[in-house]
Amino acid sequence: MAEKNTLHDAFLDELRDMYHAEKQLTSALPKLAKKAKSPDLSEAFRSHLAETENHVTRLEQVFAELGETAKAKTCDGMKGIIAEANEMIGESYDDQTMDAVLIASAQRAEHYEIAAYGTLVTWARTMEHDSAADLLQQNLDEEKAADEKLTDIAESGINEQAAQSTH
């Protein structure tokens, strides 16, 4: 009979998935920053790129603390989110609508990460990997803050301007 995997195995699998997801985002965020017309939005993407690079480093720390090699597992979820974002970027929207679309695309990625990091933090705490949980909590907090910042930018006029361009 095959050996059943444990929560620890699922935890490592999810860590590898997020490691790949974050690495994918380090390539995608500069494209979003370049495409954004709003200086605030472009800066938000550049700022989150620096945070994302720190997320990769923290994940590497978590792997090290667990005595594991930092190894990525293809994250099909993030790959799909980025593919959809690239498709949207290729459309010929007016500037305001493009910024609204970029925000929507970025928030899909943030929500995916928030869900994954929430699970990782809970599992780490359950298995008493407290230091790993603290590192993962930092990533989760930054993902939530990035999502809130994108909402603030969208609600500060970008969505309204995009809506006006339809009239």
Q: Is residue 136 within 8 Å of 62, Cβ to Cβ?
A: yes
Percentages (nearest 5) of helix, strand, coil residues in the chain: 80, 0, 20
Q: Which residue has 């230091």 as its token pair?
A: 131
Q: Which residue has 């993902």 as its token pair?
A: 143
Q: Is residue 45 within 8 Å of 36, Cβ to Cβ?
A: yes
Query: What pLDDT, on the 0 to 100 scale, is given for residue 140?
Result: 98
**Could you give all domains of the chain from N- to C-terminal order, each with its CATH number?**
7-164 (1.20.1260.10)
User: pTM for the whole thing?
Assistant: 0.93
For the beta carbon of residue 136, count every other beta carbon within 10 angstroms.
28
Degrees, nearest 5: CA angle 90-91-92: 120
pLDDT band at 142 (very low <50, low <70, confident <90, very high): very high
pLDDT band at 91 (very low <50, low <70, confident <90, very high): confident
Please compute the mean of the pLDDT values over residues 110-132 and round it to a whole number: 98
Of all residues in the chain, the percent with pLDDT exceeding 70 is: 98
Task: Please state, in angstroms and rounded to a whole number, the distance separating the CA atoms of residues 6 and 12.
Answer: 10
| Average pLDDT value for the chain | 94
Please compute the mean of the pLDDT values over residues 67-76 and round it to a whole number: 96
Q: For the segment 98-116, what is each residue's pLDDT rounded down to a tens digit? A: 999 999 999 999 999 999 9
Query: What pLDDT, on the 0 to 100 scale, is given for residue 167?
Result: 55
